[in-house]
Amino acid sequence: MNSFIEFYHQITNPEVIIQTGGLFLILLIIFAENGVFFGFFLPGDTLLFTTGLLSSTGTFNVPIITLLVTISIAAYLGSIFGYFFGEKTGSRLFTRDDSVFFKKKYMYAAEAFFIRYGGVALIMARFLPIIRTFAPIFCGIVRYPYPKFILFNIIGGTLWVVALVLGGYILGQVLPSAKDYLEYIILGIVIITWIPVVLTYLKERKRVKKEQLDSAESTLK
């Protein structure tokens, strides 16, 4: 159990990821977190911001342009993988049993978000943990027009990567000592990005319960 907890800590701690795996591991995690259904727990937002910050301070010696280009491509490819996965086998996720690495409620949250916002949800979802992972899969399931998917995928992926990586880089330039408070910064990012996800889930759960109640009342009548 302790070894599992240690492993989980290593693959979800941005600093550990960067220090042990470098750019290759960053790209692999961003790819998985953007469309591989079991990658939802990986630290996309915090990893991007930390990467930019450590690049700015020289702790992670990779040029910012290289980071922006390669990470953006990894994000695009991850979502494309998710789309085709959803198109081929994703519908099975709605009947799949819950496990440590999968919860059906995440699929329903992505579905609700996509139904509410349409294609623009692919852009907005980039900034929302879990929904970012499952939105492209849901697009594949409903066979959302592929050209539109690619357009929103590129726009959303680019905005997400540039905003967080460049945001971390600029903060490091303006306030080099920010890396000493990285744990607090990461905590702040986690809280901010999870608020909309929790609200979406609560609204969807409330809607489902209301539909079930209405259905039960109709049956009684």
Judged by phi (left if over 0) then psi (alpha if -120 to 50, else beta), residue 143 lies in left
Q: What is the mean pLDDT for each group of 10 consecutive residues in the chain (221 residues)?
A: 55 85 94 88 90 92 96 97 88 68 71 77 86 88 91 95 94 84 77 74 67 60 56
What's the pLDDT score for residue 25? 94
Distances, alpha carbon 139 to alpha carbons 73, 91, 193, in Å: 19, 11, 22
Six-digit token string for 201: 């889930």
The confidence score (pLDDT) of residue 4 equals 47
HSE, side-chain direction, 13 A CA sphere, residue 136: 34
Distance CA 15, CA 9 (A): 11
Residue 193: the pLDDT is 74
